[in-house]
Amino acid sequence: MKNRFLRLCLVMQVMISALVIFSGCDSGEKARDELTGNRAVKQYHQSTKDIGKIVDRQTEKHQTIPDDEKQEGKRE
């Protein structure tokens, strides 16, 4: 009975300290995002946006190249 009570107290202490850590500061939110996988999803979406921007810029550059230079590039 005493052992069970001590375990219960330990579990409650750990849970309360985890709540304080995760909700007490901004890094707690970051840690929660890391644990739930939200951070990886956010990074994925940011990466796809960045890749889209790069593709758009490269497309614009490719379209601005005069036809003569395109022909010379194919020959080389």
pTM of this prediction exceeds 0.95: no
pLDDT < 50 positions in the chain: none
* Res 23: pLDDT: 65
* Res 2: pLDDT: 81
* Res 20: pLDDT: 72
* Res 13: pLDDT: 92
* Res 53: pLDDT: 94
3-state SS string for the chain: CHHHHHHHHHHHHHHHHHHHHHHHCHHHHHHHHHHHCHHHHHHHHHHHHHHHHHHHHHHHHHHHCCHHHHHHHHHC
Residues 6 or more apart whose CB falls under 8 angstroms from that of 32 comprise: 22, 38
